[in-house]
Amino acid sequence: MSKEHDKGMSLIVKVITRLTVGLILLFGIYIILHGHVSPGGGFAGGVIIALSFVHLMLAYGKDVALKKFPKTAMSFFESMGAILFLSIALLGFTGGYFFLNFISKGEPFRLFSAGTIPLSNIAISLKVGAGLFAIFVVLVLLKFEWEKKE
Amino acid sequence: MIIYLLCLILFCCGLYCILRKRNIIKIILGIIIAEYAVNLFFILVAYRMEGRSPILSSDVEIVNMVDPLPQALVLTAIVIGLATTALMVALAMRIYEKYKTFDITKIKELRG
Amino acid sequence: MTATSNILPLFVGISLAGAFLTSIVGKRVKWLPDLMGSLTTLILLGLSLITVRIVATQGILVYSVGSWKLPIGIALVLDGLTVFMLVTVNLMAFLIAIYSINYMERFTSKWKFYTLFLLMVAGMNGVVITGDMFNLFVFLEIAAVASYALVAFGTERHELEAAFKYTVMSTVGSLFVLLGIVFLYSYTSTLNMADMANILAQKGASNITIMVSVLFIMGLGLKAALVPFHAWLPDAHPSAPAPISAMLSGILIKSLGVYTLCRVFYNIIGINSSLSLILMVLGTLSMVIGVFLAIGQWDFKRLLAYHSISQIGYVILGIGLGTPLGMIGGLFHLFNHSVFKSLLFLNSGAVEYATGTRDLQKMGGLMTKMPITGTTSLVASMSIAGIPPFNGFWSKLIIIIACVQANHLGYAFWAVLASILTLASFMKVMKYAFFGKLREKWNKVEEVPVFMKLAMVILALICVVGGVLLIYNINEVFLKPASDVLLEGTKYADIVFKGIQ
Amino acid sequence: MIELYVLLIFMIIGAIIAIEMKDILSSVIAVGAVGLGLSIALLILKAPDVAITQLVVEILCLIILIRATLKKDLPFSTTGRWLLNTLITVGFIVVFLFVAIKAFKDLPEFGYPIMRIANTYLKEGLVRTGASNIVASVILDFRAYDTLGEATVLFTAVIGVLAIIRRIGRKKKDEVVEEDDE
C-alpha cells in the first residue's frame, strides 16, 4: 500500500480519482447502452471508458492501472471487439443480406429495442476502449534509448 | 454564406500551418485544425433554421429536425482523424528518439 | 437481386476476417501468419476470377448492404472496371504475400506485418468495389493508414522520416477529398455515386463542379503522385520493405489514385475538354519529369520509385485522351505496370536480401550468382522499357498510336522520348547490377529462398505472355468492359439503376 | 445565429495563436481551446452526438499530444527563402478561397439544406430500425458498412502504432531477436 503511494500524483489527486473513476466508468457504460435512444453511442462511450483508465494511470502511475487492465487483456478485447462487429455483419447473411438488422426491432424507446444496434454499440465500445487505452499506454511507456542508459 | 467562409478560413489556417511550419508537432497541430474545419463545415451544411436535434421523443412529435446523415458521417470522420493523429504522434516520438529534435530542417537524410 | 451478388461483400469481409484472426492467433503460433496471408489472398484471387465470368455473363451487379435500397443505403457495384481492378489488386497481393514468407524473416513481429498487409488489401478492395462516395473515403483511409505504418516497418531513422512525410502529404490529400465530398453532398444531397451523377447531370455545369474538380485533382493527385504532388513517393517507396514497395508502387497508388480519379471524373462529374486537357498535361509532365529524375539515381529502389511516377504518367495520359483506344491502352498499361514494377521491386528486395546493399555502384556480376533474380529482372526491365514482345511494349504502343490518332503529335513525341530514356536508365541498371565483372565481396552470395523465386518467376511469366490479353476473346471479357465503363461516362448512373432491379 | 459567428471567430483566433506561439505546449493547449469551441458550436448546430464524441476525442488527443511535447527541446528555424515561400503559400490560399467563394453561391443557402435522402431517414428511421436516435440508426443500420470501416481504421491505427513503436525492426540473417510483443 505504501509503495503504491510513492508513484503518481499527490494524495489529493489520488483520493479524488478514487471517487470519480468509478463514476466515469459507469457513465461510459450508460452512454453505450443508451446509444440508440439518446445521444452518445459505442464510440463516445468507448472513449470515455478508455479515459477512465487513463485517469487512473495519470493519478496512480502505470502499475496500478496495468494491474486493473493488463496488456494481454487489451489486445484480446481489441481483436474480440473487431471480430464481434464483423460477425454481426456476417450474421446478417442469415436473412440474406450483409449487415441486415436481423433481430426483431422491439418496442421503440425501450432499452431492449432496435435489433442489432445495441449489440453493435457494445462491440464497438469494447474495441475503441481497449484500442485507445493501448495506444495511450504504449506512447506513455515509450522510453527513449538514451533515457534507458541514464 | 459568411459562415461558410469563416469555416474555410479556419481550414486555410491549418493548411498554412502544415505548409509553412518547420516543426513536426506544429504540422500535426495544423492537420488537427484542418480536420476540425472540415468536420464543422459538414455539420454546417446540414443545419436547418430553427432546427431540432434528430432524436425522437415518445411524448411529443418533433418537427423540423436537422439533417442526420452528415452527423453520422462526421462521427466517422472524427474517428479517422483520431487514428491518423495517433499514428503521427507515434511517428513523431520515434523520430525524436532518433534525431533528438522536432525540427524538420535538421531531419534531412533523404534528398527530396 | 440474385444469389451470385452475395459475392460482393465477401471481398471486404474475408480480408478483414483474415486480418483480425491473424492479430489474435498469429502472436502465438509462428507459422500461422504466413499461412493466413497467403490463404486469404488466394481465396480473394479465386473470387475475383469468378467475378470476371459473372460480369461477362450477367452484366453489372449491384448489391444493397443491409437490404437498404440504393439511395438510402450503401450500394456495392460490380462493373467491368471494378472487375479489372479487383483482378489486378488480388493477383499482385497473392504473389507478394508468397514472396513475403521468406523475405519478412529479416524483420521482427511478422504477425503485425501480415495484419497490416491484409488490412491494406481490404482497404483497396473496398475502394474498388464501393458505389458510395463517403464509403470510398473510409476505405481509402484504411488502405492509407495501413500503408503509413508499413512504410515505417523497419523503424530505422530514414524510414520513420519518409513515413512521416508520406503521412502528412497523404493526410492533406484525404482532407481535400473529404472537403470535395462535403461540397458534393451539400449540392446534391445524396452520397450514392449513381444518384449523384444523375443529379449533377440534371443541374448542369456550375461553379461547384469546378471547385470539386480542383479539390479532387489535388487530393487524388497527392495519392497518385502526379508530378506537382509527387514529393513523397521517392522517399516512401524505397524506404518500405521490398514487398510493401511492390504493393505501393504496383497497386496502391493505382487503386487509390488512378482508379478513383477515373471514377470521379468520368462517371460522376462527367469529363469535358478542359478536364481532359488537365489530365493529359499532368500525365505528360509526370512521364517526362519522372524519367529525367530517375536517370541520375544510383539507389536501385529510388530509381524504380521515380520510374513509377513516369509510368503513372503514361496511364493518366492514355486515360485522359478519352478515345476508346487510349482508354484501353491506359488500362492495359496500368495492369502491365503493376506486374513489371512489382517484379522489379521484388528483384531489388532479393538483391538486398542476398547482398545487403541497394547501391548499384557496389553491385556487379550478380547474374552468375543469382541467375533467377537476374533473368526475371532482365525480363521486367525489357518490359518497362517497351521492347517487343513483352507486355510493356504493347501498351505503350497503343497509347502512342492513340495519341497520333487523336492528332496529339506532341504528346506522342514526349511518350516516345520518355520510353527511350527509360530504356537507357534500365540498361544502366542491368549493366551495373547483374552483368559485368563479379566483385570478390559477392563470391559467397547465394540465390534467394524458394518462395521468393516462385513469386518472381510467376510475375516474369505474366510479363512474357502479357500481350495475350490483347487477343480478341480475352480482351472482350477483361479489358474492353473496363474501358467501356469509362466511355459510358455519366450514363453509368442509368446502368446502375437498371442493375438494381 | 450571432453566437455561432462569435464562436467561429474565437476558433480562428485560437488557431492563429496555436500556429504562431513559440512554446509548443501553449500551442497544444490553444488547439484544445479550438476543439472546445468546435464542441460548443456543434451543440448549437443541434448535433449532440457529434459534440460528445468531439469532446472526449479532444481530451484524449490533448493528453497524448501533451505527453509527446512535454520537456522536449523546441528549436525554431526559418529557412533562407522564408519570404518567397510564405508568399507562395498565401497566394495559393487566396486563390483557393476565391474559387471557394464563387462555389458558395451555388450551394444551398445556410440553414436551408435540400435533404432529399435525409427525409427518408427521419420519416422511416424509427419504424424500420427501432432506434429513436436517428443518428444511431444511420451509423449502425442504414450505413453500418461505413462504421465497420471506421472501426477498422482505428484497429489499423492501433496495430500500426504497435508496429512503429518496436525498438528493433530489422534483423540479420539467422539472428534471434527478443521480440517484445504487446
* C93-122 confidence digits (pLDDT tens): 999 998 988 888 888 788 888 999 999 999
* Grid coordinates given for D21: 506561439
Judge: D149–C152 Cβ closer than 8 Å, yes or no: no
pLDDT tier for residue A7 given thresholds of 50, 70 and 90: low
d(CA D171, CA D153): 29
- Residue B30 has what pLDDT? 92
How many domains does chain A divide into? 1
Return the closest-CA partner of residue C479 out of C56, C93, C128.
C56
- The CA-atom distances, in angstroms, between A19 and each of A5, A57, A59, C142, C265 are 16, 14, 12, 39, 57
- Residue A2 has what pLDDT? 44
* A89-118 confidence digits (pLDDT tens): 787 777 667 777 667 666 666 666 677 788
d(CA A35, CA A118): 7
pLDDT at B33 over 90: yes
- Is D134 part of a structural domain of the chain? no
Work out the percent of chain A whose per-residue pLDDT is above 90: 1
Alpha-carbon distance B97 to nearest alpha carbon in chain A (angstroms): 6
Return the closest-CA partner of residue D35 out of D15, D5, D49.
D15
Cβ-proximal residues to D94 (8 Å cutoff; 6+ apart), any chain: none
Return the closest-CA partner of residue A84 out of C17, B32, D60, D182.
C17
Interface chains of chain B (3 or more CB pairs under 8 Å): A, C, D
Q: C 46-85 residues with CB below 8 A of A?
A: 63-67
What does the DSSP 8-state code read for residue D111? B
Judge: C154–D169 Cβ closer than 8 Å, yes or no: yes
pLDDT at B112 over 50: no
* C183-227 confidence digits (pLDDT tens): 988 888 888 888 888 888 888 778 888 889 989 999 999 988 888
- Residue D43, amino acid: L
Q: Residue D17 belongs to what domain range? A: 1-74
ipTM exceeds 0.90 = yes
Q: Is the pTM of this model over 0.90?
A: yes
Alpha helices by DSSP H, listed for B1-112, are: 2-20, 24-46, 68-99
Q: Cell numbers 440474385 label which residue? A: C2
* Residue-range domains of chain B with CATH: 2-49+63-99 (1.10.287.3510)
- Residue C466 has what pLDDT? 79
* C351-364 confidence digits (pLDDT tens): 888 888 888 888 77
Of B55, B89, B97, the CB nearest to A144: B97
- Residue D80 has what pLDDT? 60
pLDDT at B11 over 50: yes
Give the mean pLDDT of chain C: 86
Q: D 24-63 residues with CB below 8 A of B?
A: 24, 27-28, 31, 34-35, 38, 41-42, 45-50, 53-54, 57, 60-61
- Is D1 part of a structural domain of the chain? yes
Alpha-carbon distance D104 to nearest alpha carbon in chain C (angstroms): 8
Return the closest-CA partner of residue B78 out of C257, D103, A132.
A132
- Is D149 part of a structural domain of the chain? no
User: What are the boundaries of each domain within chain C?
Assistant: 1-270+492-501, 273-470
Interface chains of chain A (3 or more CB pairs under 8 Å): B, C, D
d(CA C183, CA C206): 12
Torsion angle defined by CA atoms of residues B99, B104, B106 and B112, in that order, rounded to the nearest 10 degrees: 110
Between these two residues, A147 and C99, which has the higher pLDDT value? C99
Judge: B93–A138 Cβ closer than 8 Å, yes or no: no
Judge: B55–A39 Cβ closer than 8 Å, yes or no: yes
Cβ-proximal residues to B65 (8 Å cutoff; 6+ apart), any chain: B48, B51, B52, B53, B54, D122, D134
Judge: C231–B18 Cβ closer than 8 Å, yes or no: no
pLDDT by residue for chain D (182 residues), tens only, comes to 788 899 999 999 999 998 888 888 888 899 999 999 999 998 888 888 889 889 988 888 888 888 777 766 566 655 667 788 888 889 999 998 988 888 888 888 887 888 888 888 887 777 777 777 888 888 888 888 888 888 899 889 988 998 888 877 677 666 655 555 55
d(CA C189, CA B38): 17
How many beta carbons lie within 10 A of that of residue C69, not counting itself?
A: 12
pLDDT tier for residue C439 given thresholds of 50, 70 and 90: confident
Which residue is closest to C176 within chain D, CA to CA?
D96
d(CA C109, CA C98): 17
* Grid coordinates given for C382: 525489357
Q: C 130-169 residues with CB below 8 A of D?
A: 134-135, 138-139, 141-142, 145-146, 148-150, 152-156, 159-160, 163
- Residue D74 has what pLDDT? 61
* C156-174 confidence digits (pLDDT tens): 888 888 899 899 999 999 9
Mutate to test the interface with C, among D156, D166, D171, D179 (most CBs of C within 10 A): D156
* B67-107 confidence digits (pLDDT tens): 888 888 998 899 899 999 999 998 888 888 888 777 777 77
Q: D133 has which bridge partners?
A: B55
Q: Residue A25 belongs to what domain range? A: 2-149
Judge: B83–C172 Cβ closer than 8 Å, yes or no: no
Q: DSSP for C309-348?
A: HHHHHHHHHHHHH-SHHHHHHHHHHHHHHHHHHHHHHHHH
Alpha-carbon distance A92 to nearest alpha carbon in chain D (angstroms): 11
Helix H or strand E segment including C404:
helix C391-405
pLDDT tier for residue C301 given thresholds of 50, 70 and 90: confident
Which residue is closest to C152 within chain B, CA to CA?
B91
Phi (first) and psi of residue B72, to 5 degrees = -65, -40
SS3 readout for C34-94: HHHHHHHHHHHHHHHHHHHHHHHHHCCEEEEHHHCCCCCCCEEEECHHHHHHHHHHHHHHH
Judge: D112–B78 Cβ closer than 8 Å, yes or no: no
Rg of the Cα trace of chain B?
19
Chain D contact for C16, CB < 8 A?
yes
Cβ-proximal residues to D160 (8 Å cutoff; 6+ apart), any chain: B87, B90, C116, C145, C146, C148, C149
Contact between B95 and C161 under an 8 Å Cβ cutoff? The reply is yes
Judge: B70–C141 Cβ closer than 8 Å, yes or no: no
Alpha-carbon distance C160 to nearest alpha carbon in chain B (angstroms): 6
* D105-151 confidence digits (pLDDT tens): 888 888 788 888 888 888 777 777 777 788 888 888 888 888 888 88
* A15-59 confidence digits (pLDDT tens): 888 889 889 989 888 888 887 778 878 888 888 988 888 888 888
Chain A contact for D91, CB < 8 A?
no
Three-state SS at A26: helix
Angle at D124 between CA D118 and CA D129, to 5 degrees: 110
Give the mean pLDDT of chain B: 84
pLDDT tier for residue A146 given thresholds of 50, 70 and 90: low
